[in-house]
Structure 1
């Protein structure tokens, strides 16, 4: 009898140990390592800081944790330099052994990051760079985007311009990947609807000598002009276009990067310019109101689309971590959780396509009173075609 009791005691003790082991697995210890590879100096520094602020705001709203796990941040300034991208990404992946890479703004840098992520089977969330390839031929199970593809806002504007009854359009952009992809997205929608692009004009990046192009536009007399420019170049183009007397007779359109962050520099010249993007001022949803309030309180400035994309990168990772009960090492489960997520974003709720790109509303905005005010939803739940993606 004594032997049986001892055996039973051992059995109970063994079950208790096994249960404790399962509990330990269910609640892994240590911090989840987040690797930010973003521009913190140079032309795109403000964008890198906004993305970082947005990500950290969501974590702060959740008590400094994601899926119950404390967070540790590792940061590398990518300097928007593709030549340094592989080395910088490897610092975070191989030296710091981060659980997830978050970056970046510059598409050339992001393409190199995606290559490192694929080779090392590290999770990557792209919170801005819109190169179509990332969710196209270079897509991968462990690569996600919380922003947009170059195609999305440009395609939406192609539909808008066609619906306005425009028949002949001229396009102008810098001759580099993102600009050319934007023009192609616009042309696809516009020409499908019966319009015709009568002239594609390009100039080397970052050249801002626009006068010869403005002279030719005046001579061609198109119904409208579609452009992709961003930053200081965008502000100068809008000011030069207005100064040439073209804006009142030939409407100017573009994706939202034409005016986002540039309204002060454009001044009165920007008034009335219409753009398409997945975020806008004046959206009527509670999530955006709460997000803006929290951002202003934390950072003493208004958020922009880049802050939203950082915020949603954190939301997306939280969805994956929660599916894995906080265990970042269970990458397959984390990925499935992210794929199935419905993100309650300040931009409006979105899901992910099979290529891991947001399926999202694209808004038509107009520059009014120093804001990119929403006029309407140009296209509901627009999914990037993900051409060439094999996952």
Structure 2
């Protein structure tokens, strides 16, 4: 081979070796922190499964093909606002995290929202429930994706009122989420002709609901509203079954319950419970395909609505970062998330309102009877689809200070 050809080949190889690191250096770095409960009452419904969902979204987005280099880390906030706040500050100040996802436990979520605004990062909530995140506590840096207490109240509250449940007694977890859920459900009950005859506040978390359930039973209320979630809700439902409360004619309103909780209870106990959620693994072909992939990474588990929300919201966040070619200005990324219509395989097409509320349909589900179930995770049947424009509180009623009156 002529010398000139060898020289040309060497130069081409040298150029290629220099080009590869240069292209890698051009990738926009993005660091996502998934913060949730990895050891307490929500560990099964959020926990590692939410981090897995975020990584699945990154994998599906193919970040390097879109000019991004994405890293996902995770931490346990232990359901404590001070712990969550400390992690958030460390992530933002020292570890280079650009956005925090998930964050069940509303008191922690409210703290993270304010720190995120202060640091001008992005907060995309899936696991926390309080509708205050798009109400009085809204910020230009927060998106509330999966559900909220107003949507749960609209779905389950109205459904039980239609079935004749006019008088209500609340058993409420004494922290931000429980109080917001009771408040929003009470408003729906009273607006639709029902009345609240009493209630009791419970510690959070709480393994024993015996005395609270006996008070609710003695109240004679037609509906006992459980304004709690996770293992607390599961414990309350199980103990109510042991006391024969539903068999005695009172209805239980499971105002927030995850598929992992229903699975843990078993259909002998859970059958007939009605509840509202935004996702179920067996809704359609796309949700079933996602669930099958999820289960290869979380053996023996199906995804909860919170974990599905982390997947879908991570995809949309990355689209916004790609459009801006930067993750550094959190408010700008959130503004772009609101500008771009949402579209993913789990929630379909939707929008994000100016107050940060993600809009999509919600579903009223009922836990199947054991005889209706065809498999271990065949647990729900759809009673009603609540259209997107009816599922959530109107923006004009939320009290978000960013929204002009």
TM class by shorter chain equals 0.7 to 0.9
Residue of structure 2 aligned with 1:31, choices 21, 29, 32: 29
**Corresponding position of 2:177:** 178
**Corresponding position of 2:265:** 266
Q: SS of the counterpart of 1:289?
A: helix
Q: Please say if 1:384 is aligned against 2:393.
A: yes
**Corresponding position of 1:147:** 146
User: What whole-Å deviation, never above 9, does each CA across 1:248-307 have from its counterpart, x for those lacking one?
Assistant: 3122122232x5322344232212211111123531x33312211221234333222222
User: What whole-Å deviation, never above 9, does each CA across 1:183-221 have from its counterpart, x for those lacking one?
Assistant: 222122222111122222323333444333433444443
Tell which deviates more after alignment, 42-51 or 171-180.
42-51
Structure 2 matches for 1:223-372, cutoff 5 A?
A: 223-248=222-247, 249-257=249-257, 260-267=259-266, 268-283=268-283, 285-300=284-299, 301-324=301-324, 326-329=325-328, 333-340=332-339, 341-368=341-368, 369=373, 371-372=378-379
Structure 2 matches for 1:111-260, cutoff 5 A?
A: 111-248=110-247, 249-257=249-257, 260=259
Pairwise CA distance, 1:28: 4.8
**Unmatched runs of 5 consecutive residues or more in structure 2:** 1-21
TM-score scaled by length of structure 1: 0.83
TM-score scaled by length of structure 2: 0.81
**Corresponding position of 1:374:** 381
CA gap of 1:90–1:176, structure 2 versus 1, over 3 A, is closer
**Corresponding position of 1:4:** none
CA gap of 1:240–1:85, structure 2 versus 1, over 3 A, is closer
Pairwise CA distance, 1:360: 2.4
CA gap of 1:355–1:193, structure 2 versus 1, over 3 A, is same
CA gap of 1:265–1:286, structure 2 versus 1, over 3 A, is closer
Q: 2: CA distance between counterparts of 1:177 and 1:98? A: 26
Does the 8 Å CA contact 2:88/2:112 hold for their aligned counterparts? yes
**Corresponding position of 1:40:** 38
**Corresponding position of 1:6:** none
User: What whole-Å deviation, never above 9, does each CA across 1:7-38 have from its counterpart, x for those lacking one?
Assistant: xxxxxxxxxxxxxxxxx9xx953422223333
Pairwise CA distance, 1:338: 0.4
Q: SS of the counterpart of 1:346?
A: coil
Counting matched residue pairs gives 363
CA gap of 1:323–1:364, structure 2 versus 1, over 3 A, is same
CA gap of 1:29–1:159, structure 2 versus 1, over 3 A, is same
Tell which deviates more after alignment, 183-192 or 336-345.
336-345
**Unmatched runs of 5 consecutive residues or more in structure 1:** 1-23
Pairwise CA distance, 1:128: 1.3
Q: SS of the counterpart of 1:350?
A: strand
Aligned-pair Cα RMSD in Å: 2.6
Does the 8 Å CA contact 1:171/1:199 hold for their aligned counterparts? yes
Q: 2: CA distance between counterparts of 1:30 and 1:184? A: 43
CA gap of 1:103–1:241, structure 2 versus 1, over 3 A, is closer
Stretches (4+) displaced over 6 A: none
Tell which deviates more after alignment, 327-336 or 314-323.
327-336
**Corresponding position of 1:13:** none
CA gap of 1:217–1:97, structure 2 versus 1, over 3 A, is closer
Structure 2 matches for 1:43-58, cutoff 5 A?
A: 43-46=41-44, 47-58=46-57
CA gap of 1:30–1:193, structure 2 versus 1, over 3 A, is closer
